[in-house]
């Protein structure tokens, strides 16, 4: 694969984040494949035309010890692909903690494997309405903009609430690596290159501010310049891809755009959701008002012993709706007021168990009703749910520029799964009409 001159390889810390990167690259004219597990040579060869290769993971919801055991071989495999840049992809809201989804620990592991050079970090992504200014992160919600520690959702995240907007302070709780900042003022200065080179020599991690398309373009230039100096391991959101794509297009390395034909509508769509986000709540309510049938599931029944009965009941209800020709949404919560996270967390591994249960339900619906299209909602949910579908790889079928980060994908695998069109939607992602947009395929 190294002989193919790969531009980029990446590890996504959850599934929806992984498809977010794939969508950005494809829209920028970079053919990309996302593998669910490290592929064997024959599977890898099926995608020899791709110039970017991703590996979907679950590290956002895992412990530092898990990361040490699992990220180490994953990064070693990615390094072996020989891509110009390897990216550890994190959520654009940077939500993480020393105990769960530690960005600091992941950075330590990557730095160790990729040569101990300073690690560039890019989080701001104007395309996703995420901005960093003097090291502080801001994010949009319902048309307004909030510092991340005052964000109505992320400051109250059920697992990793963001209580600090200064990303380097937040990061310092997770690693002893030194860190520095290339801020907005430095990005506008005449001596930018010298400043960047000096900070990279002095610090282990260097965060680059991005508050606009203009600063994003400057950061893309810097990332591409410094990768040849050994700074080829990058940590950040898909803002890293958007920055690099601008530079690659400017240099003629990629076309800068790609066209996708609409796949058209399907008669029936199945959705499973484990998200407690108010964004997903609005999407579910919108879908129910536009012809979808809703089936509420008890999250606790799906994670306790004897969950098989609850799964069978959910499957039966879903099949009944689909048999009537209706699209269906099976959900465990309708907004944050229905969050049972505190109860779930009393059972070890229950969140992962919940994701797997939702995947089992969806797999049964797809197989028994021969569905052509499906959706999994919830970032943590998607990673564990998709694992139940025996999918080997994903490619992009239809990007959603109006709702970036949640494309419709094509599944590659065995049996009825091969060719399935599936979308993976993070809790905070998408317009109110998201599920209907996926059903209509336009």
Q: Given this model, what pLDDT does residue 3 score?
A: 45
Strand extents, DSSP E, 109-191: 119-122, 130-133, 136-141, 144-147, 179-182
Integer Cα distance of 157 and 249 in angstroms: 37
What is the per-residue pLDDT across 387-440, written as a single tens digit (0 to 9) for each?
Answer: 899 899 999 999 987 788 889 999 999 888 899 999 998 888 889 999 999 999
Q: Given this model, what pLDDT does residue 340 score?
A: 85
Full-model pTM: 0.90
**Whether 60 contacts 101, CB under 8 Å:** yes
Helix (H) and strand (E) counts for the chain? 16, 18
Q: Which residue has the tokens 């947009």?
A: 437
**Whether 320 contacts 258, CB under 8 Å:** no
**Whether 295 contacts 331, CB under 8 Å:** yes
Q: Given this model, what pLDDT does residue 198 score?
A: 97
What is the per-residue pLDDT across 178-200, written as a single tens digit (0 to 9) for each?
Answer: 999 999 999 999 999 999 999 99
Q: Which residues of the chain fall short of a pLDDT of 70?
A: 1-4
CA distances from 368 to 42, 92, 311, 382, 417 (A): 30, 37, 15, 21, 12
Structure tokens at 57: 């993971």
Terminal CA-to-CA distance of the chain, rounded, Å? Answer: 34
Integer Cα distance of 52 and 72 in angstroms: 20
Q: Given this model, what pLDDT does residue 4 score?
A: 65
Q: Which residues contact 374 (CB under 8 A, 6 or more apart)?
A: 269, 270, 271, 272, 362, 365, 366, 420, 421, 422, 423
Integer Cα distance of 289 and 360 in angstroms: 27
Integer Cα distance of 148 and 138 in angstroms: 5
Of 229, 119, 241, 219, the C-alpha closest to 171 is 119
Among left, alpha and beta (phi > 0; psi -120 to 50; other), residue 339 is beta
Angle at 433 between CA 432 and CA 436, to 5 degrees: 150
What is the rounded radius of gyration, in angstroms, for the C-alpha atoms of the chain? 21
CA distances from 325 to 27, 273, 320, 423 (A): 34, 20, 9, 20
Q: Where are the alpha helices (DSSP H) in 28-118?
A: 41-45, 64-80, 103-113
**Whether 160 contacts 186, CB under 8 Å:** no
**Whether 107 contacts 116, CB under 8 Å:** no
Integer Cα distance of 180 and 200 in angstroms: 8
Integer Cα distance of 282 and 335 in angstroms: 8
Of 381, 411, 405, 398, the C-alpha closest to 33 is 411
**Whether 84 contacts 227, CB under 8 Å:** yes
**Whether 299 contacts 333, CB under 8 Å:** yes
Q: Which residues contact 228 (CB under 8 A, 6 or more apart)?
A: none
**Whether 25 contacts 52, CB under 8 Å:** yes
Integer Cα distance of 26 and 242 in angstroms: 11
Secondary element (H or E) of residue 53:
strand 52-56
**Residue 340 DSSP code:** -
Cα dihedral sign, 95-136-402-233:
negative
Cα dihedral sign, 39-31-428-120:
positive
**Whether 261 contacts 250, CB under 8 Å:** no
CB neighbour class for 118 (10 Å; exposed up to 12, middle 13-18, buried from 19): buried
């Amino acid at each position: 694969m190294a002989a193919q001159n790969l531009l980029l390889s990446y590890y996504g810390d959850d599934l929806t984040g992984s498809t977010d990167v794939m969508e950005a690259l494809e829209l920028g004219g970079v053919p990309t494949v996302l593998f669910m597990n490290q592929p064997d040579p024959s599977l890898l060869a099926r995608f020899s035309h791709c110039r970017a290769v991703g590996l979907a993971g679950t590290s956002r919801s895992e412990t530092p010890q898990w990361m040490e055991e699992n990220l180490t071989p994953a990064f070693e495999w990615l390094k072996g692909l020989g891509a110009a840049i390897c990216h550890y992809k994190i959520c654009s809201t940077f939500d993480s903690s020393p105990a769960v989804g530690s960005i600091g620990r992941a950075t330590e592991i990557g730095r160790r494997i990729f040569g101990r050079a300073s690690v560039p970090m890019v989080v701001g992504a104007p395309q996703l309405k995420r901005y960093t200014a003097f090291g502080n992160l801001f994010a949009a919600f319902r048309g307004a903009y909030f510092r991340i520690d005052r964000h109505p959702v992320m400051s109250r995240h059920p697992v990793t609430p963001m209580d600090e907007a200064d990303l380097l302070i937040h990061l310092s709780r997770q690693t002893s690596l030194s860190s520095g900042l290339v801020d907005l003022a430095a990005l506008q200065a005449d001596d930018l290159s010298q400043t960047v080179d000096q900070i990279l020599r002095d610090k282990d991690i260097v965060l680059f501010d991005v508050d606009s398309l203009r600063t994003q373009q400057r950061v893309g230039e810097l990332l591409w310049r410094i990768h040849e100096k050994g700074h080829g391991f990058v940590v950040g959101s898909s803002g890293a891809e958007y920055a690099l794509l601008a530079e690659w297009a400017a240099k003629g390395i990629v076309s800068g755009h790609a066209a996708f034909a609409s796949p058209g509508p399907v008669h029936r769509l199945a959705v499973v959701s484990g998200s407690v986000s108010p964004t997903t709540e609005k999407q579910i309510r919108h879908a129910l008002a536009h012809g979808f049938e809703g089936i509420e599931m008890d999250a606790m029944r799906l994670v306790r012993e004897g969950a098989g009965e609850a799964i069978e009941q959910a499957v039966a209800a879903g099949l009944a709706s689909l048999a009537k020709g209706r699209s269906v949404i099976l959900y465990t919560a309708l907004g944050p007021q229905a969050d049972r996270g505190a109860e779930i967390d009393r059972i070890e591994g229950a969140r992962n168990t919940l994701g797997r249960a939702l995947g089992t339900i969806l797999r049964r619906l797809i197989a028994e009703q021969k569905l052509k299209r499906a959706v999994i909602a919830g970032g943590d949910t998607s990673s564990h749910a998709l694992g139940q579908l025996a999918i080997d790889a994903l490619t992009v079928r239809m990007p959603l520029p109006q709702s970036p980060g949640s494309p419709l994908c094509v599944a590659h695998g065995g049996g009825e799964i091969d060719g399935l069109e599936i979308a993976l939607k993070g809790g905070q992602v998408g317009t109110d009409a998201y599920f209907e947009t996926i059903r209509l395929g336009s």
